[in-house]
Amino acid sequence: MPISEVRATVGRFVSIRCASSVIVAMITEVSCENLSSSDKYIAIASVDLLGEIHNAADKAKFQRGVTNYPTIGDSVDLITSQELRTIYAPTGSDQINVGFLQQDRSVVAYVDVEEMLSKHFAVLGSTGVGKSTGVSLLLNEILKARPNLRIFLLDVHNEYGRCFGDRALVLNPRNLKLPFWLFNFEEIVDVLFGGRAGVPEELDVLAEVIPIAKGIYTQYQNTDRLGLKRIDPKQVGFTVDTPVPYRLVDLISLIDERMGKLENRSSRIIYHKLISRIEAVRNDPRYAFMFDNANVGGDTMAEVISHLFRLPANGKPMTVMQLAGFPAEVIDSVVSVLCRMAFDFGLWSDGVSPMLFVCEEAHRYASADRNVGFGPTRKAVSRIAKEGRKYGVYLGLITQRPAELDATIISQCNTLFTMRLANERDQALLRAAVSDAAANLLSFVPSLGTREVLAFGEGVALPTRLRFKEVPPHQLPRGEATISSVPSVTSGHDMHFVGAVLERWRGATSQRDVPNDPVFQAPPAKTLAPAEAPMLQPSMGLDPDRFSLLKKPLR
């Protein structure tokens, strides 16, 4: 871009030419001073000093920070395109191309993958500013640069199923197997009580019988296989959180046995209610992904972790976990299990197989308000944020409400991609989180255009205003929010239409095969999980125009 076309205004870079280097600075404030003797004026600009360009023997090199400050009389010029290229030049093979500078579109904006991943990152922005498209762009570029890195994406609105082609395994309630015994005590209590606080008397019973049920299962396995002498299940030494299998039939039997020893009718009601809760959840078809083969047993933990976290990858290093189809009461528990297992596997494997764990709508799982959400989920996400980098578990957070996200967690993200945010609380949190000298850039946040980003932190050479590059059509997220809110004039709302809707509605909570179910398929073979997940598509039984009315926009 010719210098004549560039205006010296807030947010632009200037170069201050010193004796041994060129100092790069950003204009943060512009004012003018009138001269009394004429109509001329003097423009005055305040700048933040960001770094230096040193002219080495072979080529110019940029570094952050200033070692030699300018003196009075040093010349100041608008920065040239060549100097911008020097600043943003890729320093190695670990750089990904995410777009171009807003100041000069001929300069490519690169992000350092190692710095971005190892110190965590966050993508922040309101609805409709291109946040999901930006996430698709970043993850696809990361997959190109790090083909062996495993990525696990929590897809809250089922938008990303097709964004990564055949490099991603898509999981949903139809093809996920996550056995109930992998849930720790807090998580299984959350499932049994539907997200509400548990009854203390019932929790005491559960805490007593679960370790014994684990001991009984292990005892049976050892007796069957090795002919070992039977031992007391209570002496096995399992805790309520030890991730070993147990059977629901053993659990209910133990509770029933204790209930039978009680003479007081009022005391027996507690045990009866607990058994009823367990059986109600066990028989609910929405929970089949947890309780399939619940009375058969089988230690499938290795297969589950291998399948979930792509070990080996088999050409699909990425997992997209579609959460929209899960019962609302159990989503927090499922996310807690996945976060916890991701961290624990990294911990006990000494981080030999790095993984990026990406949380879409992160404020739902790690809320700043301790009274909102599920405590163990916040704890699991927080543990990855604080300690994950030591064990090769990296965190990516995506949220439209950063002010509602736990401040401790977002403070661990050292690279921020900030898109348009209109809420004052969100902007205040950003101002507190960005410690860089160019935090003045945050004044642009409410007025950024679609796909425009302010990038701060370790992953970028300088705090940068950039624009994400175009994403190919097949990589664009396609969620339910893209459906028009204007109904088709030609489609009528007859009884057949309403009946078809009710069939799908009832089919979600019954064990009948419903022809109009958009994801209805033949029962799968008895394997851990099919290789491909069925995509959520309009069924052939409904007119496409009518089907568009069934999808409620989520953003």
Cα gap 380→337, rounded to integer Å: 8
Cα gap 474→418, rounded to integer Å: 24
pLDDT at residue 118 above 60? yes
Cα gap 406→408, rounded to integer Å: 6
- Min mean pLDDT across 240-254, 276-290, 443-457, 505-519 is at 505-519
Cα gap 394→378, rounded to integer Å: 16
pLDDT number for residue 551: 44
Is the peptide bond prior to 354 cis by the omega test (within 30 degrees of 0)?
no
Q: Which residues contact 233 (CB under 8 A, 6 or more apart)?
A: 212, 213, 214, 215, 216, 218, 219
Mean pLDDT of the region 116-132: 88
Q: What pLDDT, in 10s, does the model give residues 342-378?
A: 999 998 888 888 999 999 888 888 787 777 777 888 8
- Segment (H or E) for 97: strand 95-101
Task: Give the relative orientation of helices 265-283 and 185-192 as an angle to the nearest 10 degrees.
Answer: 90
How many other C-beta atoms are found inside a 10 Å radius of the C-beta of residue 350? Answer: 10
pLDDT at residue 87 above 50? yes
- Min mean pLDDT across 14-28, 80-94, 98-112, 438-452 is at 438-452
DSSP tag of 306: H
pLDDT number for residue 407: 82
pLDDT number for residue 194: 79
pLDDT number for residue 264: 62
- Min mean pLDDT across 93-107, 136-150, 400-414, 541-555 is at 541-555
Cα gap 458→421, rounded to integer Å: 22
pLDDT at residue 524 above 50? no
Confidence of residue 460 (pLDDT cuts 50, 70, 90): confident
Q: What pLDDT, in 10s, does the model give residues 296-342?
A: 767 888 888 999 999 888 888 999 999 888 888 888 889 999 999 99
378, 406 contact by CB (below 8 A): yes
pLDDT number for residue 411: 84
What is the number of residues in the chain? 555
pLDDT number for residue 241: 83
pLDDT number for residue 342: 92
pLDDT at residue 192 above 70? yes
Q: In what side-by-side order are the strands of the sheet with 41-55?
A: 60-64, 41-55, 22-34, 13-17, 75-78
- Rounded alpha-carbon distances, angstroms, from residue 309 to 202, 338, 387, 530: 34, 9, 19, 15
Confidence of residue 546 (pLDDT cuts 50, 70, 90): very low
pLDDT at residue 198 above 60? yes
Taking alpha carbons only, the member of 554, 536, 445 closest to residue 173 is: 536
- Concatenate the DSSP letters of all residues of 413-449 into one string: --EEEE-----HHHHHHHHHH--STTGGGGGGGGG--
pLDDT at residue 185 above 50? yes
312: exposed, middle or buried (C-beta count within 10 Å: 0-12, 13-18, 19+)?
exposed
Q: What pLDDT, in 10s, does the model give residues 33-71?
A: 766 666 666 778 888 888 888 876 667 888 888 888 888
Rg over alpha carbons for the chain, rounded to the nearest Å, is 29
Q: Which residues contact 326 (CB under 8 A, 6 or more apart)?
A: 173, 286, 334
How far is C-alpha 519 from the chain's CA centre? 24
Confidence of residue 151 (pLDDT cuts 50, 70, 90): very high
Q: What is the pTM of this model?
A: 0.80
- Min mean pLDDT across 17-26, 271-280, 506-515 is at 506-515
Mean pLDDT, all residues of the chain = 79
Q: Which residues are 42's β-sheet partners?
A: 33
Mean pLDDT of the region 135-140: 92
Q: What pLDDT, in 10s, does the model give residues 462-477?
A: 888 888 988 888 888 8
CA torsion 484-488-494-495 (nearest 10°) is -20
